[in-house]
A and B are shown apart, each in its own frame.
Chain A
Amino acid sequence: MSSHREAPEISKDPVADSSDLYAFVSPDDPDTVTIIANYVPLQLPASGPNFFEFGDDVLYEIHIDSNGDARPDLTYQFRFRTELRNNNTFLYNTGQIKSLDDPNWNRRQFYSVTKVDAHGKSTVLAAKLPCPPCNVGKLSIPDYSSLAEDAVKKLKTGEKVFAGQRADAFFVDLGAIFDLGTLRPFQDKHLVGQKLFNYAGKAVNATDKLNVHSIAIQVPLSTVRRDGKKKVRGRDPGAVIGVWTSASRRQVQVRHGDKKNADVEVGPQVQVSRLGNPLFNEVIVPMAQKDKWNSLPPTDDKLFAAFVEKPELASLLPVLYPGLFPNLDKLNKAKTPRADLVAILLTGIPDGLIDNFQNATGDTKADMLRLNTAVPPAKSPKAFGLLAGDLAGFPNGRRIEDDVVSISIRAIAGVTFALVDETFKPDAAAGLVEQGLSIKNVSSGLLKKFPFLGTPFDGFDNP
């Protein structure tokens, strides 16, 4: 998956587990960037009586680097608090919920938004904003869409925010990919699959009809860009921002185990989850180091650069699909560092490799989702993003509809190596390989405006 349960420790702590990060120039307001950080992945819609929520004991952050040093120049912090209305019921709601302050809604969650500048100065932008409820079912919540729309808030400082349950729009054939790297459309070409199948398979979207909790913020471009520029040329280094999200917990928790003393959480915040580019920790970082990666800031990613230069998956593809990747096999055996992947994932793509495009942030190797904010939203987005000539798509930021799994597989298979070595001829299969899914396989659909992710699946119709 993108980053759902991507490391051993965080897989046991879903409340703090970042699963997807999106950053794109907003199609509904092109003078802003929309950033969405998803947490609490893989929610079954029918989850009563204790429906999913953010962690009151987790600090959620969205970081933006505007000068290429991989340190945050702007951070938005989100803290949550749950309030119970009625101590004498086991129910989430005791009747229909028709508004965000409906007395029938027993267990509500609120959040604050704090802005932290490059010098560490904190400003509380909003102290108590309401989250919408989980989508219990159509009997409990007759008009969920309106309720969720009411939870979109515009702050005085210009940002628009939303925090609450959404339908997970990430699409991946998880079952096949982690079953010995099988891509169902090519299952009959697979080392083991060719003994089982004589036909191409149809991909399955393993994350369809599951919900997630989203923190979404829409920020004026002038707020995120270096020097606060309202207009900037695409070649200007100041057009590019680096984005990542993190979740942290207090270093110490003491469970008193009695009624007199409440549990204690104190000490510095310790980062337990991080996400920049999709699949970085999931597919690039070895399992033994995934927990460590989650604890570190992007400035330490030079420690993992070797895994980008020689990704394990690149060496597996010629083995798993015999005869389809001979040129990649030669490249692997030559032990040539993958400068293309280093550019895409760690430094940004420099000017001159792709016509009229760059999203480079300098020499600091750091996993950040890099977005050239001067590129306007595409009128007809292409699922393969930059690989298909759509400059507004991944790996220039990441839109919800981008097929990041297939893009990443093609890149690792060698299609992007030709950008840095003109003598390299990518294998024909590298340009064809894909997981076989698209945003059309996401049943919820998407909204045309902020927060873009679709209405969460309700528990009544989606057990």
Chain B
Amino acid sequence: MSRVRYGSRAVNRLSRRRVLAIAATAGVGVSVAGVTGLSLAGETTATDDGQPLVISLRDASKGTFDIFSGGSRTTLTDKKLAARLLKAVKR
């Protein structure tokens, strides 16, 4: 099944610096602008240049983020980043 087949990518593929850059650009749970649309013949992957990326703060208290990119979901934990984002949206 698709649900099973597409596994999460390793967290270390995204550096902290990269995530911070994304956060600074996109704000909370917002995608980075990029080329949209999916390939007719296949899935896009996280390594596709210019593909959108969406970060979702799943658990603010634990600083757990889901990062959606191409056909993958990656989990990341960063309490400080969560706190900064919450401050940005005045929560």
Contact = CB atoms under 8 A, between A and B. Distances in A.
A266 B48 CA distance: 12
Given A252-B54, A252-B56, A252-B68, A269 B40 contact: no
Size bin of chain B's contact surface: 20 to 34
B40 A110 contact: yes
Interface stretch (A121-129, A165-173, A437-445): A121-129
B63 interface: no
Contacts, number: 88
Contacts of A297: 1, 3-4
Nearest to A127: B41
B38 to A, nearest CB: 7
Contacts of A264: 31, 36, 52, 54
Size bin of chain A's contact surface: 35 or more
Given A264-B31, A266-B68, A112 B3 contact: no
A264 B35 CA distance: 9
Contact of B54 (A59, A112, A114, A266): A266
B42 A63 contact: no
B40 A127 contact: yes
A266 B52 contact: yes
A206 B79 CA distance: 56
B13 interface: no
Contacts of A72: 1
A79 B41 contact: yes
A271 interface: yes
B51 interface: yes
Contacts of B69: 266-267
A263 B37 CA distance: 9
- A interface, by DSSP: helix, strand, loop or mixed? strand
Interface stretch (B14-22, B70-78, B80-88): B70-78
Given A124-B41, A251-B68, A269 B2 contact: yes
Contact of A268 (B2, B33, B38): B2
A266 B70 contact: yes
Nearest to A125: B41
- Which among A80, A112, A266, A297 has the greatest number of chain B C-beta atoms within 10 A? A266
A143 interface: no
Interface string A233-263: 0000000000000101001101000000111
A54 to B, nearest CB: 12
B41 A254 contact: no
A265 interface: yes
A116 B43 CA distance: 12
Contacts of B24: none
Contacts of A122: 42
B26 to A, nearest CB: 10
Interface in B26-70: 30-31, 33, 36-44, 51-54, 56, 68-70
A72 to B, nearest CB: 7
Nearest to A297: B1
Given A266-B52, A266-B53, A268-B72, A246 B2 contact: yes
Contact of A269 (B3, B33, B52): B3
A270 interface: yes
A112 B71 contact: no
- Interface pairs A-B: 7 shortest CB-CB: A267-B68, A269-B2, A297-B1, A268-B6, A262-B36, A264-B52, A112-B41
Given A114-B42, A262-B36, A267-B68, 6 more contacts: A112-B41, A246-B1, A252-B68, A266-B53, A267-B72, A269-B71
17 contacts: A72-B1, A110-B40, A114-B42, A251-B68, A252-B54, A254-B31, A264-B31, A264-B54, A266-B51, A266-B54, A267-B54, A267-B71, A268-B8, A268-B68, A269-B71, A270-B2, A271-B2
